[in-house]
Amino acid sequence: MKEIIPTNVKNLIEYKQYKKMSDFAWNILNSMDDKNSAVMGQPFLKAIDSIGVNIVKGFNEDKNAKKISFYEEAIIDLSEALDHWLELMVKRNVISKITYSAFKELDNPLKTKLKSRISSLDKNKK
């Protein structure tokens, strides 16, 4: 059965998943002291926010090749946020291992959905 793509990005599954992640990241940033916020928290939030920006750009792009490029960039931003900044924050004891694990649980569903969207678009390239 073919997936029906919403007409509004806010209804896109990937965007909804990103929003949960973004809210969580915002809470993490707000819990940090000024030094850690500047060094790790703000770059972490910037990477997280870039995921959403690229999902919106991909959603609104007409050409499948460009859509794919934006969704791939969202995956790269996701990796930067979680594989670099989140790892660094837990290693430096800025966040707890519980917070780290809870945040990492959001990673796979979003990455999987983005890869699925890319695969679907790749089959139908214009």
Domain-wise residue ranges, the chain: 9-17+27-123
Any idea what the Cα angle at residue 111 is, between residues 125 and 122, rounded to 5°?
A: 10
pLDDT along the chain (126 residues), means of 10: 70 92 96 97 97 96 94 97 97 96 92 94 75
**What pLDDT does residue 99 have?**
95
**What pLDDT does residue 58 have?**
95
Q: Which CATH superfamily is domain 9-17+27-123 in?
A: 23S rRNA-intervening sequence (1.20.1440.60)
**What pLDDT does residue 1 have?**
47
**What pLDDT does residue 39 have?**
96
Any idea what the Cα angle at residue 51 is, between residues 78 and 47, rounded to 5°?
A: 65
**What pLDDT does residue 11 have?**
87
Q: How many residues does the chain have?
A: 126
What distance in Å separates the CA atoms of residue 122 and residue 42, rounded to the nearest whole number?
34
**What pLDDT does residue 2 have?**
54
**What pLDDT does residue 125 have?**
65
